Every structure is written in structure tokens, then in C-alpha cells.
Amino acid sequence: MSLLMFWCFLGFSISIFQLEEKTYNEYIVNGDKTIPWMVMFGSSNCPACVSAAPEFTKAAESSRGFARFAYADTGRMPNVATALGIRAVPTFYLFTNEGKFDYTGPRTNGGMLSFISEKIGEGLEEADETWMDSPNNKVILFTKRFKAPILFSAAYGALKGKNISFGMIRDSETIEMFGKPPIPSIWLYKGSEKMQYKGKQEFGPLVEQISEHFGVDFEDKDL
């Protein structure tokens, strides 16, 4: 079966990027992974790959720009498969600027997106009352949720190293100290100025407004 026929057989959409050795080295090995890559390694004679493909596609279509999804045929990329130690397919890896992470969870849309959110959100702080007097540029999510939503984790991951502190506040008393903002809501603090984010609940608009508000550069390099 040709790669094109297998691609159609899997039902992958244009939201799934097709990797070959050249593009793997260009984008995954040497490229900027501020927007992380979720890659499915498979082969043309793999029934399990066919089963996993629909959920992988759903995850790609639901990612709303905070991650890129790609498929790599190990039969056409033997050197890459050997270097990664891939012995069975499908194998899933998340590639970020912090490293490579093996995904072994359920092959479902929700499972993959939760995994991505967890990895790109690592280091996200629990804000407290001391943040009120901090002169740092701050982005605070006021919420009742235990875990940060993917949108907030993705913005934090994309803007790491930009001198912006990201934090969550769930404690009711602390929320009151900040003036009882709506729950949930995202606020941007720059010195004594504060502004509620009221744009679309999408990755691109949120990161763009944060970048503009604090005067930092963020470049989403198109493929």
C-alpha cells in the first residue's frame, strides 16, 4: 500500500502533518518547538494504527493551535525509528523545547490532550496573596478547577522565558482579596494596571493579547 493510500485509509485530515526524515530533522530535531509536536509513529501494515488514527485526528482538530500533530511511517524512516528505539507501533511522542515525552496512555482524543496539557503546563504556579504586591508581569487564572484548562497551560508553555508569571488562584479568600473577579476569568497585571481577558477562548487570540499587553515577542512559525 502506498503512503498516500494508507494516509487516506487512516482517514487523516490536513490537520495531520506528514513527516519524512528530512522534515523530521528540520522541525522535530532542529526546529523551534515552542508549539509542541505530538507525533504518531506507525506503519502501513499496522491494524492498531488504523484503530488509533481517528482519535489522533480528533485530538489534532481539537488542539486549536496549541500543538502540532504529525504522522511518521517508520518503514520510510528507519534511521529515525532506530534512533528513537521504536520496537512497536503505534508509538506516540510529544516533542517540546524541554525534551521528548513518551505517551503510553489511552489512545483517545481526551487522553492525548490531557497529556499534552500536563506536560506543557509543568511548573505552572499556584498563586497566593503575595502576588498582589509583586511588581512582576502576571497572568492569573481565577478558577475553581483543580487543574488548569488546556488553554491556560498552552499559553503558559508558549510564553515561558518571557518574564511573565503565570498562576492559578482557587482559594476563595484569596480571590476576594483580588476584588472578587468573575469565576472563571483570566486577568493580566502590569504594574498597577490590570485587564481582564475577554477575547475568544482560543490559543492564538489569548497568546496574542498577552504578548501585546506586555510587549513581548511571540512568533508562531508557519510550516
> What is the tens place of the pLDDT at every residue in 30-41?
999 999 999 999
- List CB contacts of 77: < 8 A, sequence separation 6 or more: 19, 20, 21, 24
Q: Give the span between the Cα atoms of 62 and 34, in whole angstroms.
A: 18
Domain with CATH 3.40.30.10 in the chain: 3-120, 125-214
Residue 5 has pLDDT above 50, yes or no: no
CATH topology of domain 3-120: Glutaredoxin (3.40.30)
Residue 12 has pLDDT above 90, yes or no: no
Q: What percent of the chain has pLDDT over 70?
A: 92
What are the strands of the beta sheet with 165-169, ordered from one edge?
Answer: 125-126, 165-169, 138-142, 185-190, 193-196
Residue 204 has pLDDT above 60, yes or no: yes
CATH topology of domain 125-214: Glutaredoxin (3.40.30)
For the chain, give the mean pLDDT.
Answer: 90
pLDDT, tens digit, for every residue of 123-164?
998 999 999 989 999 999 999 998 899 999 999 999 998 999
The pLDDT value recorded for residue 13 is 61
The pLDDT value recorded for residue 222 is 54
Q: Residues, the chain, total?
A: 223
The pLDDT value recorded for residue 15 is 77
